[in-house]
Amino acid sequence: MKLSLVALVLCYELVELESSAKMAPPLAPYSVKKSPSAYDSYKFELPELYREIAKEELREDDLVREQSLAEMRQWIANNPHIRKCRTDAKFLLRFLRFQKFSVPMACEALERYLVVRELYPSWFKNLDCDDPTMKEIFANAPFSVLGQDSAGRMVGLCRFARYNDQKHQPFEDGKYMAIVMETLLEWEETQIGGCQVLMDWQNISVNNLEKWSTTDLRVMMDAFSHTYPLRYGDIFSAKLPKFGVPIMDTFLSFANPKMREKINCLSTVAELAQQFEPTMMPKEYGGPVNLDELNRTFRKRVEEQREITLGLDQMEIDVEHYASVWQTASFTPDEITAGAILKRMEMN
C-alpha cells in the first residue's frame, strides 16, 4: 500500500513537471539595429475577420503592407536622429495601422513615441512586471482584459477604485498601464481591431483622484491619446462622483478631439453593464465571466512578454534635436522641455 502511494506521488510529480515544461517560455527581445542586414518576413495569420477589418478600415492588403514596411524601414535607416529602433514588422505595423498606412504619419507617430519614452523615463521605461510595486498593482487588477468581442475589438474594463489611493504614486499607476498597453500592442488583433474601454468609477476615493497633479494628468492623457498607437472604439464611463468632475475635465482637456467624441458618460453601473456582450459580462455585473481567471491569464501573457517589453529600453533617439525650442539650460527638462517639445510636435 505504501509503495502504491509513493508511486502515485511520483507519477503526480512527473505530470506536474511535464505541465511546467509545456508552459510558454519568456519571449526574447527584438533587435534594435536600425539598419539590419536582413529584415524579418511577415505573413498575415489572423482570422479572416481581421483581414476584412484591415482592408475596410485601415486600407491594408498584402501589397500595401509590404510597400509601407519597406518605406518606413528605409526612413528609419536614413534618419540620423533615430539611433536604435525595432524594425520588425509587428512593431512597425503598430504605427502604420494606427495611421491607416500613411507612411509619413506613421513615421511621425513612431518619432513621438520614442521621444516621449525618453522625456518621461519614470513613466515609460523599465516597464518590469516583476518590480514589487508593479506586482502589487497587478494583484489589485484595476484593469482587466476581457478578450475580443464579436466585432474584433479588445474589450478592457477599468475599475478605478482598485488603484491604491495611498501607497502608489501617479507615475507608478501610469507605468502599470504602460505595461498593459505595450503588452496589448504586441497583439495584432489589438492593432487591427482596436479597443473598447469600459470605466467603472464606483467606490473611488477623493485621494485616488486628487493625488494626480495637472502635469501627471497631461502625461497620462498624452500616452492614451497621442503616444501609444491604440485605435479606440466607444469609451463608456459610469458612476463618476461629483468631486471627480473637475479633475476629469482637466484630464480630458489634454485629449485629442476624436477621443473626446468617443466618450459616453453613464449615470449608473447598470447602464454600464448593458454595454458588455452577454458572453463577456463579468460576474460582478451579472454575467458568467470570472474576472480573477481572466486577470491571471493576462498576467501570464504579460510575464511571457516581459523581456520584449524591457527590450524597448534599448531603442534610442536624439531628444535634443526635438528640443531646439528649449533654449535655457536652467529649465527642468521633465516638465518645461517636455511640454515645449510636445506642443511643437502637436503643431507639426
Residues 43-99 pLDDT 10s: 999 999 999 999 999 999 999 999 999 999 999 999 999 999 999 999 999 999 999
Tell me how far CA of residue 240 lies from CA of 2, 157, 248, 299, in angstroms.
62, 15, 9, 28
Domains of the chain by residue range:
48-123+318-346, 129-309
Q: How confident is the model at residue 26 (pLDDT cuts 50, 70, 90)?
A: confident
d(CA 72, CA 67): 9
Highest mean pLDDT among 19-23, 253-257, 280-284: 280-284
| Pairing of the two strands 82-84 and 316-317 | antiparallel
Task: Report the pLDDT averaged over residues 36-45.
Answer: 96
Residue 324 has a pLDDT of 61
Average pLDDT over the chain, rounded to an integer:
88
In the predicted model, is pLDDT for residue 6 greater than 50? no
Residues 101-140 pLDDT 10s: 999 999 999 999 999 999 999 999 999 999 999 999 999 9
Number of helices (H), then strands (E), in the chain: 18, 7
Residues 45-57 pLDDT 10s: 999 999 999 999 9
d(CA 111, CA 88): 16
Q: Residues 255, 178: contact at Cβ < 8 Å? A: no
Q: Residues 344, 65: contact at Cβ < 8 Å? A: no
In the CATH scheme, what is the code of domain 129-309?
Answer: 3.40.525.10
* Positive or negative torsion for Cα 218, 164, 211, 285: positive
Torsion of CA 240, 244, 250, 251, to 10 degrees: -50
CATH number for domain 48-123+318-346, candidates 3.30.70, 1.10.3470, 3.30.160, 1.10.8:
1.10.8
Q: How confident is the model at residue 273 (pLDDT cuts 50, 70, 90)?
A: very high
C-alpha cell at 7: 508511486
- Model pTM score: 0.87
